[in-house]
Structure 1
């Protein structure tokens, strides 16, 4: 389904004013094969540990978007090429990372949307620490489980309800 975040913003200015449609701070770059993606949010909070990222991406994605609050860390990557392949294989629409990714030559081959702050060659540690399905705050906005995520070349939107 084609959409444009600019058109969504223009059509729903009232929801932006009410806070029901939120615009993420524009600090994210696209790294997946799909530059446009949308789906229901599954939230995850981790810090420099991607154990739970793999666990969630191993579940059926059902067109959802994994939203990872990695605390904005620029010291290691939370998503790499193998996880991009796993996300595509299991039907995830996208991955939005408040942190870094790696293996960008592999990620761009994965037919999934991937947005992150930056790239970093170092992998994360494995401590099996994280929390899922909670309200997280990243990029200046709140994201709740089940919120609708809309991402394209112009930005990332979070809506309390489906808009397209």
Structure 2
């Protein structure tokens, strides 16, 4: 498999994971709220998490997707801003080309028609045609809170048409 084609062989449906872990009270199994829309060409994806925290500045998002993705999932804490797009067609294409399994953005995207052609999973809150200003601000590889749910680097994310779940390690099933 080429690095530009994220693996879906490790995929496990989110509904099945919720059935298995519905009694988990440890806080290890978490479900993100149903506020994310799908924009990428791949609907089902999973992988280990890399995090970026930025607000209306996509410098670190650009740096991440332009580096080898190794079938990981980039989770971006954009502060739920609806004022600027943190990912557009060029960066979506870079994510697919560099082997990112997916990108989940607590914020906006743009270039929706272009993103739909990208062979990677892309989830975000909404679309916004305005780009960001690149000020080289933000942080990478830290625990972030996405819509009130803690997400940590190295944890595992599963996303499909039913939702997005996060857990400490891939499901062994």
Structure 2 matches for 1:5-44, cutoff 5 A?
5-15=14-24, 17-44=25-52
Greater shift, 107-116 or 136-145, is seen at 136-145
Paired with 2:108 and 2:34, the residues of 1 have a C-alpha distance of 15
Per-residue CA deviation, residues 21-70 of structure 1 (Å, 9 max, x unaligned), is: 10001110000001111010000000000011110111110000000000
State the match for 2:89 in structure 1.
Answer: 81
TM-score by length of 2: 0.92
Paired with 2:60 and 2:77, the residues of 1 have a C-alpha distance of 12
Moved over 6 A (4+): none
Structure 2 matches for 1:113-124, cutoff 5 A?
113-124=121-132
1:139 positional shift: 1.7
Paired with 2:86 and 2:150, the residues of 1 have a C-alpha distance of 20
Number of residue pairs aligned between Structure 1 and Structure 2: 163
State the match for 1:97 in structure 2.
Answer: 105
Secondary structure class of the residue paired with 1:27: coil
Q: What is the Cα-based RMSD across aligned positions, in Å? A: 0.9
- 1:106 lines up with 2:119 in the alignment: no
| Runs of 5+ unmatched residues, structure 2 | 1-8
Paired with 2:77 and 2:22, the residues of 1 have a C-alpha distance of 26
- 1:67 lines up with 2:75 in the alignment: yes
Secondary structure class of the residue paired with 1:14: coil
TM-score by length of 1: 0.97
